[in-house]
Every structure is written in C-alpha cells, then in structure tokens.
A and B are shown apart, each in its own frame.
Chain A
Amino acid sequence: MIEERERSELTSPRAGSNSLAADTRSVFVREMSLILRDPFSLIFSIVQPLVFLALFGPLLAGSIDPSAIGGASPLQWFLPGVIVMICLFGTSTAGANLLFEISLGSYERVLASPIRRSSILIGRSLKELAPLVVQATLITLVAIPFGFQLYPVHAFAGALLLGVFGVGMGAFSNALAIASRKREWMFWAVQQSLLFPLLILSGMMLPLEAGPEWMQVVSRFNPLTYIVDAERALFSGTFADRSVPLAVVAALITCAVGLWVGVRQVAKSTT
C-alpha cells in the first residue's frame, strides 16, 4: 500500500521535462495511427501523383522547347517538380486536420497536456511528410524505365531539404488553421489563393524562362523557386549548383519563421 503510494508520488507530478524529440515523436505517432489504422487511405494518395505524372508528363514533353529547360530530358526536369508539388499540397493542407480537431475539442486536450507547443506543429508536419517519402520513391522507381536517371545520394539530400521546408509549410498551415478557427471557410480561401500563385511562380509545373519577365522577377521572391531549382539540380546529380545553398537557406528560413508564427498562434489558440 505504501509502496503503491510512493510509486504514484513519483509518476504523477512529472515535471513535463520530456525532450523536444520525445514530444515530437508522441505527436507524430498519434497522427500516424490515422494512416496506419486505415492504410486504404494511403493507396489513393500514392496513386494520385502517378496519374498526374502519366497525364501531364507527355503533354509537357510534346509542348515544351527543350532549350527552356536547359536541354534536360522532360522527365528529368519534371519529376522533381512533381515531388515538390506533393510536398506542397500535403503540408499546406496539414491545418485542415487541426481545424477538425479544434472544432471537436481534442486539440484542447492536447494543449492541456505538458507537450511542447513546437512539437505539436513539427509532429503534425512530419505526419504529412511521411507518405511523401513513399509517394516520391514510387514515382521515381516508376520513372526509371522511361529514361529517368536516379542519383540516390542526391535524391536523399533533396528529400531532406524538402523535409525542412515541409515542416515550415506545415507549421504555417497549422497557424492558418488556428487563425481561422472561428471562420473555417477562411482556411481554404487563404490556402487556395496562396497555393497556386506560389506553385506557378516557382516554375514547378512549367518553366518560367518561357514566361514574361515580371513573372521571373516575382519568382525570385518566392522561397519555393529556390527549392524547386535545387531539387532539379540534385535530381540531375549535382550538388554544385548555386541554387542548392540558396535553397538550404530558403528552407531553413521557411522552417524557422513557420515554427515561430505557429508557436505564437498555438499560444493564442485558446483565447
């Protein structure tokens, strides 16, 4: 009886001193259970980029002037763009799940727990990035028989870069979800109206070199442009491209600012 009491004395008033990694892992594991308990949902999200690549790829190859993409094979040029696109779509909608949890009350329960606020954001973003790894691997493997050349080390570095950028994007998306918790339509309005300009003005789908000059100027202020350029460089097997260090800076800034804005929003989210 006394032992039982002592044990509970020890376990109950915990100082909430879990590491950032442990807290992030707890959030990630919780979010991942949604996918792992219902793997069927993953199948659709895996097939989607394949369909996109199969339908858009040939059109692009037929309509594009090879000089606009630096003489690369259209597939080699287009595939990294598709991978960045899946990352952008996945992480920019991360807030939708949070919005759902805010409206139901389970988010408040998480806030009442000693879990780190930044871990809530990072864990949720990582959950959106996890299927991306599977999707990216799959479309890359499928593309190889069609002449795509894979540089595994470079591709891995590209994935890490996207991971850092994706955590930031996810944090922005969750911050947007919290900001629009009292007007849920606002989340989709803002997400959709930012997504397509960001996407097109990064040269992800079509080369900006073929577009008007103002678009090229605007694209330099889009962090995504640097990410897309660097992914193309990495997937074509080179680290020695000016875009790579710029993209690392762009990804780190996106991640840091995203988490800063996100944590501030989390702190305000119950008022």
Chain B
Amino acid sequence: MVAPRLAACATREGNRAVIHTRRLTRHFVSKKETIEAVRGVDIDVAAGELVAFLGPNGAGKSTTLRMLTTLLPPTSGTAVVAGAQVTSEPALVRSRIGYVGQANGAGHSFRVRDELVNQGRFYGMNSTDAAGRADELLASLDLVPLAKRRVSTLSGGQRRRLDLALGLMHRPKLLFLDEPSTGMDPQNRANLWDHILQLRAEQGTTLVLTTHYLEEADAQAERVLVIDHGLIIADDTAPNLKANLAGDRITITVEPSDVPQARAIVEAGGSELSESAGTLGVVLSARFDHGQQALPRLLHELDSAGVTARAADVSVPTLDDVFLSLTGRSLREDEAVAA
C-alpha cells in the first residue's frame, strides 16, 4: 500500500531524484540480541549531487549503503534507487549503479585488464565495447603500464584506482563508494580524489560515499549526512552545518581577578561560555557568530572595562565540532582508534 504512494511522491518531487528512501531500517540478530544498525532513515538525493555519509565506525553508514546497492535486504522501509525498488527490482538497480566496496573489488589472481573486461561483460557490454572501455579507463586512471599485471602485485593506491575503474566500467549515472580512501596515505588519497572529481566533471555522475575522515567529507562533499547510532542526525552543506551547529569560538585569557567582569562582557555577545585554567590565566571560551569580526569588538569592550586580555584566539569550527555539538562525542577518538 505504501510503496506506490511513495513512488508517486518521488515523481512529483521531480525526475531528478536518484535516491529516495523512507523509514529504511536494518536490524541484525546476533546471539539472540537485536542490533538496530539503521533505524528508519529518509534519504533524498538528486541527480548530480556529491553526498557523503559521515559518522563513526558502526554508525550505520555502510549498512545504509549496502541496502541502497541491493547487497543487503532492508528489514523494513522502502528505497528507490536509480528509478527501481531495491527489494523488488534488485537486478535493475544493480545494472544502473556502480559500486566501489570497502575491500578491493578486483580478484587477486586475475590480470588487471582482464578484470575490467570481465566487469564490462557482467554488466552486459559486448567484448568489443568492454575492451574499448577498459583501455579508456586504464588510460584515464594511469593504469596502462599495469594492464597485464596480476592484481596481487599492485600497491594499495593502484588497487584503489583499479577499484574505481571497475565501478565506472558501465558508465553508471550513480556511483556508490564505501570508504574509498580508508588506509591510504594523504598523497594517494589526494590523487584518488583528483580522479574521482575529474570523472565527475566529465560525466556528471551522482556520487554517494561513506567516510569517517572529517577532512574528506569537509573538503570533497557538497552535502554531508551525519549518521550516528543508525539515524541521520544532520543533513546540510558542510559550511551550513558548521555555522548552524557549531559556530566560531572565541577564546580569551584573563587574570583570575578579572574573571567576573570578563565573563559578563563575553556573555553579552556570545553563548555557551566555558571557563578553564590555562598557563597564562583563566581561559574563557564562548561561541560567537562571525568570530573574526566579533573578536576586535570584544577586545575593545574588555579594554574599556579595564580588563587586559593576555591572549586571544578565534577558532573556525570543523565537522568534528559539529559532531561534538550533535552527540557530545568527538569523531577524532574514533579516527584514532581506526588508524
């Protein structure tokens, strides 16, 4: 009963919606205990978007991605991906999307170019088209010298580029990338992203990826869905998330005797005031809108009141601050554990 209504709804919202989920849910049963990995998420992605699912390990990012790519059947809820239902038309969804999983997609014992051609055949391309497309991708992903090598002899960065090539063989309009750069060094990560963004610019592919790297979501994604404990807790552009959920923070260090006066002045312009002991005195920290403009004004007010600021700083928020303000936990701890 529900599915047709939602499908009609998706059409009304425009044909440009490539992902449309309602109450998408996945439970796992482990040792008689039910784990709610994804708890009813609503996701809408339009054609051409670059969306990142950001969250700590175990938040439900990959589970969501695996449901969208038909690898995992949902416990309940609906998902229309590339115009087809994941539960009732999985083959159609699979034929229309590209998927780059967390692990390496190319078989270790196979040759690089063979695997690309095999992949093309799996998606119904004929041998000539598959061979032509394989050569095209080998060239654009700097893999030509490796064409005849066994996959097991490739470096981590080379394998990841091959994974990307495999995901792009059939020219999907929608590409899913699960933790595309996990375990890569910064140089290889930047290189991979150059390739991803270049291909996107050329073909207008819609990209949906998961990451637990804050910098990656911040720098690359146009839209960030923050996921925690199986729920989407925020969904916006990175600058908007930072402005609305974290805000700039101004930190002022004053003499202990000046604290009551300084607190009054800081509280008048800022919010979320906190106080801590520092080496130069007492550190007052508060959230301000447009911190860089607020700081000189604040210093002037303190000066007029006879309070000397011993140190001052403005910190522009990161997505970690966003996560911290949403959950009270830092993603960095998780990143440190993962690394």
Contact = CB atoms under 8 A, between A and B. Distances in A.
A11 B124 CA distance: 9
A109 B166 contact: yes
Interface residues of B, number: 43
A113 to B, nearest CB: 4
A26 B114 contact: no
Majority SS at the chain A contact face: helix
Interface string B112-144: 001100110111110001000000000000000
Majority SS at the chain B contact face: loop
Interface residues of A, number: 32
A212 interface: no
A183 interface: no
Contacts of B105: 105-106, 108-109
Interface stretch (A14-22, A51-59, A128-136): A14-22
A34 B110 contact: yes
Interface in A70-125: 100-101, 104-106, 108-115
A137 interface: no
B182 to A, nearest CB: 13
Interface stretch (B40-48, B53-61, B69-77): B69-77
A114 B72 contact: no
Given A11-B170, A33-B110, A111 B71 contact: yes
B104 interface: yes
Contact of B103 (A14, A33, A104, A110): A104
A112 B92 contact: no
Interface stretch (B8-16, B94-102, B246-254): B94-102
B155 to A, nearest CB: 16
Nearest to B109: A34
Contacts of A30: 110, 114-115, 118, 121
A161 B72 CA distance: 37
Given A29-B118, A101-B107, A12 B171 contact: yes
A11 B96 CA distance: 10
B122 A114 contact: yes
B70 A112 contact: yes
Nearest to B83: A13
